[in-house]
Structure formats: structure tokens, C-alpha cells
Amino acid sequence: MVDGGQRMFGYYIDLALRSLKRSPILTALMVLAIGLGIGASMTMLTVLNVMTRDPLPGRSSQIYRPRLNPLPLDYHYKPSTVGGPTTALTWPDAKALLDAHRGVRQAAMARGYLTARSDRSSTAPRSVAGSFTTHDFFAMFGVPFVAGHGWSGQDDVDATPVVVVTRKLAERLFGTASAVGRTAHLGKHDFQVVGVVEDWHPQPLFYAIIGTSFDDGDQFYLPLSTAMSSHLSHNWDSGWGKDDSPISATVSWLSFWVELDSPTQVSAYRRFLVNYSARQKELGRYERPASEARLYGLMPWLHHEGLVPNDVMLQTWLALGFLFVCLVNIVALLLAKFLRKGGEISVRRALGARRRDVFRQLGIESALIGLAGGVLGIALAELGLWTVRQRPDDYAHLARMNGVMLIATVVLAIVVSVLAGLLPAWRACRIAPALRLKTL
């Protein structure tokens, strides 16, 4: 039974190939239509996949971002503005949340740039990005260590001059020698290296102030207290009062994340944020309703921050619309092709072929067109992604098709072509053999 089915399948493929060879121009038009539609749509779907992927697989469901609103009532802003004053926390608020220890882990952070200088004369100084954070950062986000470890909570309290560097920066500063215990020269200060981590740069860089950053990530991590005591500058802040110092209650500059392991903990933390806001309002520091306190999951936060630019979404919908237009054209071409084969189909029916046998044959012919169109679509998608990578957008360098997207491209092409062939195949199978044979 299996051998018979395989023989019939091979026979249908042979018939389909012969049919396609008999009308090469029509076949080429259909393959081109499939290839163009699939290439355009998969280019934009790949970009969309890059921009919306989970930056912390397996952990994102336990990571949350609190949002508080200490702005005065007379402050006018657009709630949808990315990077607005309420995107970050002030130092008094961040410290209060840290001291409360209401999560399994919690960390405050800010990003900055320092010049890394090596003792080796062959290595030129270079400005590198890094984060000023607290000790729970590494365990909460699962940052993989190569050597050493992170700093302790006491180091946060003491503002100890320690640093964790990436493997890449460690090799730049110290070569192949062990970096742990060595002194790293960053900016105008020296720090003892206590740990080396893999070159960890989740995309997007969700823990930054603006969560839509797709840069190369951080190369060093310093205790936040150390950065503050050393007066290291950070790369983003927004104030609304006269005092612009980092410890001011009117300057927001810190990102804050908390790990919560259960829905009960999430609900309790939301209540804690609302109660904290209410208390600050009683003290006269907050003017807005306590109900404006929010707690976002990692992926909802990235959506809130405008992870996918409007132009990317628009181009994706346009590409899918173009694919639909191609699908309609393929339906028309297949309908003309299959109906033109009415005589051949009628002879097969008269010789005992069933409607479903003819339907399978025509379906396989459609699938072969889709397979060829899929291969062409991959080439066009790769060309489209190459053009995307030439753009100045921070996400552009990530626009590469992986194995999953390659398989999805071929599968989508075959599915589209088979769907396009359903109506033409059904119409062709409905031809009455006796009436068509009389015209031969």
C-alpha cells in the first residue's frame, strides 16, 4: 500500500513537471509572482521578528518594571512619548524600592560611557558602554559568568571600586591572561575586576532607560553607588525642578527592574506601588493620583516603549498586502492554465481517474510552483535584508534570516501556492468529461 502510494506520488510529480515545462512563460510568471510576494513579506516579517523577539527567553515572564509618576500637575507631556520624565525613576524612589526588598530580586541601573585604557602600549584607549547597577542585576537577568562573580550587597553599600567586565573587554585590556583581580582603568578611575561575563547583549537592550535600543550592549558593569560617589556621568536624565543633581527628587534617570515569581507576588507588588505613591502624596511630594503607579511585564513594557516603529509596521502590512495581490494573480493564472487542460483532464477521467486523483495532481503542480517560488523568495528576501542592513537604524544590523525563517519562507510559499490552486483545481475537476470529449 505504501509502495503504491509512493508510485502514485512520483507519477503526479512527473505529470506536474511535464505540465510546467509545456508552458514555460506562464510557469515563470507564476514563480516570479510567488517569489516577489514571498520575498517582500519575509523581508519585513524577519525585521519584525528581530524587533519583537523575547530578549530574555525563559526569564521574561518573571521580570517586571515599576513605573511611578512624581511629576507635578502643571507639567504637560505626551504619555506616549518614549523616554519621557516618568519613564525612569528618581534616586529617592529607586532607593526606596531597593530598600523595601519586595521582590525576589531587584536592581536599579543607568548606562554610561567610559574610556577604557590598557597598560599594554599596543592597545589604544577606547570609549565603551557600560551600566551602573546593583548586585542583583546578574542573578536576576541570568548574565553568564566566565570567571569570578558579581559584587555583593555590602559592596553596594560601601561604594566599593569594583567592576565586572565582558570577555571582549577583558581580552582588550589584559590579553589572554586572567582578568579577575586585575585593575581596570576606566575613565579617570581604577577598579578591581571581580568577574568576567560572556559578551552578553540581549536584543533589544530592554533594561536601558529607553527599551528600544538595539546596540552592541554593555562591556562593563559598575556598582551604582560607586558610579555616584565617583561622579560618573550617565547618558540620559530628565528633570523638572531647579535641583538637577542625581540625588534630586525632581530628576528621573534610573531604570528599575524587579523579579517576581508568582501572580500573588505581582499583585502584592502592584499594591505596594500604589500604597507607596499614596504615601508620597500624603507627604506632599507627589501631586498625581496614586492609581497612576504601574507595573509592566518585560514584553508589555517594550510594547509601551514603542519597540516597533510605525514605519516598520506600515511596511510589513504593505508587504503582506503585496503578497495578497500576488496570490490573487496566481489564482487567475492557475485557473487559466488548469481550465486549458480540460481536454487532458477529461481523457484521464474517461480512463478511470477519480476527481480526487485529478485534484491531487493539480495540487502537487501548485506545490511545485510554490517550492520554486520559495527558493526565489529566499534570494529576494536576502537581498531585501541586505538593503535593510545598509540603513542607519540601530536595529538594521540584526536583520538576518535564521534557519527558522528560511524554513518558514519555503513553507509559506508552498502554502500560498496550494491555497491559490484550490479554486482552479476544484473548477477543473468539475468539468464534465463527456461534454469536453465531444469537442476534441
The pLDDT of residue 2 is 47
Distance CA 189, CA 161 (A): 9
pLDDT in tens, 258-273: 999 999 999 999 999 9
Distance CA 59, CA 56 (A): 5
The pLDDT of residue 113 is 92
Cis amide linkage into residue 204, ω under 30° from 0: yes
User: Mean pLDDT for each 10-residue chunk of the chain (440 residues)?
Assistant: 61 76 85 88 82 86 94 70 66 96 96 92 89 96 96 96 96 92 95 95 80 75 96 80 85 94 96 96 92 92 75 80 84 76 61 68 82 87 85 70 80 82 71 51
Please enumerate in sequence order all residues whose Cβ is within 8 A of that of 56, keeping only pairs 6 or more positions apart, or say none: 63, 141, 142, 202, 206, 298
CB 10, CB 295: distance < 8 Å: no
Angle at CA 192, nearest 5°, toward 187 and 196? 95
The pLDDT of residue 6 is 67
The pLDDT of residue 46 is 83
The pLDDT of residue 328 is 84
CB 209, CB 253: distance < 8 Å: yes
CB 172, CB 118: distance < 8 Å: yes
The pLDDT of residue 233 is 86
The pLDDT of residue 365 is 81
**Smallest Cα–Cα separation from 236: which of 246, 250, 225?**
246
The pLDDT of residue 437 is 47
The pLDDT of residue 168 is 94
Residue with cell 503526479: 12
